[in-house]
């Protein structure tokens, strides 16, 4: 299973509309609004998108994006 960093998980929690395809679309939309100075967020979101593209909807659905705190 694909491993996500803590920062990646937080970003996914913030942008997740409930589906893998929806999250990918939201991240792409967010990336289109980034300024050149927001390189870290651009790299972070690129990594998430690459990982999401390499997984199935079932694998995405099994992620625990909202763990008990």
Where are the domains positioned within the chain?
Answer: 6-61
22-68: pLDDT as tens digits: 999 999 999 999 999 999 999 999 999 999 999 999 999 999 888 77
Q: What's the pTM value of the predicted model, to 2 decimals? A: 0.91
39-49 as b/e, with b when 16 or more CB fall inside 10 Å? eeeeebbeebe
- More confident of the two residues 67 and 9: 9
Predicted confidence (pLDDT) at residue 69 exceeds the cutoff of 60: no
Please give the backbone phi and psi of residue 30, each rounded to the nearest 5 degrees, phi first.
Answer: -60, -45
């Amino acid at each position: 299973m694909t491993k996500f960093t803590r920062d990646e998980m937080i970003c996914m929690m913030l942008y997740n509309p409930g589906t893998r395809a929806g999250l990918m679309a939201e991240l792409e939309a967010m990336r289109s609004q980034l300024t050149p100075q927001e390189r870290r967020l651009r790299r972070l979101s690129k990594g998430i998108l690459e990982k999401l593209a390499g997984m199935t909807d079932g694998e995405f659905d099994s992620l625990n994006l909202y763990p008990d705190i």
